[in-house]
Amino acid sequence: MSVDSARRLRRPVTLVAVLVFGSAFPAASQTVTAPALKAAFLYNFAKFAEWPADVLAPAQRLSLCVVGDDAVADAIEQIIKGRAVEGHELIVQIVKPDGPLRSCHLLYVGGRDARRSSQILQTLKSSTVFSVGESDNFAESGGVAQLILEGDRMRFAFNVASIQRARLHVSSKLLTLATIVKDAYDARP
């Protein structure tokens, strides 16, 4: 993202983010950077999702992992300070693409490298990980959610088949705000 794009992103998305996500940002914040906005989306995805008890036991820490974007990891750290989700303490981990990805509850794959994203999604196949990425067709390729930047706005898409395969439950409130996409192989005639 260019510096100009990042500047254009700050003001308009702040309003959208506050309207959609309410108090994810500190009250004193008047602008938001792209990493902070992505972090707010990730935090709210965690708030509006449920993992099966065999994956996230009561009082177990909920692990928010980031691959390839330390700025987003730092922004998540700021957002989650002093917060929990359904009694689960939140922790942030920076992981490598060949690291322990399946131990994450929510995994954000930073960057637009479709090849790396595809490899990570292959590693996560049949796991209970809420995978989020921003590369083209991330959700259609098997990811649970995709962050999409369009001009000065950020929106998101969900792949319902991926949600079901991962045995996750995502709030209908969140799903109504998303664009719903199909798996690439399901969309073929």
Mean pLDDT computed over 153-171: 96
pLDDT digits (tens, 9 = 90+) for 57-87: 998 999 999 999 999 999 999 999 999 999 9
Tally of domains in the chain: 1
Residue 186 has pLDDT above 50, yes or no: yes
CATH of the domain at 77: 3.40.50
Mean pLDDT computed over 33-39: 93
Structure confidence at residue 31 (pLDDT): 76
The neighbouring-strand residues paired with 132 are 108, 145
**Apex 111 CA angle, 37 and 103, nearest 5:** 85
pLDDT digits (tens, 9 = 90+) for 94-108: 999 999 999 999 999
Report the predicted TM-score, pTM, of the whole model to 2 decimal places. 0.83
Report how far residue 189's alpha carbon sits from residue 169's, in angstroms, rounded to the nearest whole number: 28
Residue 182 has pLDDT above 90, yes or no: yes
Residue 5 has pLDDT above 60, yes or no: no
Structure confidence at residue 153 (pLDDT): 87
Residue 14 has pLDDT above 60, yes or no: no
Confidence class of residue 8 from pLDDT cuts 50, 70 and 90?
very low
Strand stretches in the chain, DSSP E:
49-50, 62-67, 84-85, 88-94, 106-109, 130-133, 145-150, 153-159, 169-170, 179-181
Q: Which domain holds residue 173?
A: 3-187
Residue 18 has pLDDT above 50, yes or no: no
Residue 11 has pLDDT above 80, yes or no: no
pLDDT digits (tens, 9 = 90+) for 106-156: 999 999 899 999 999 999 999 999 999 999 999 999 999 999 988 778 999
The mean pLDDT of the chain is: 85
Mean pLDDT computed over 22-34: 58
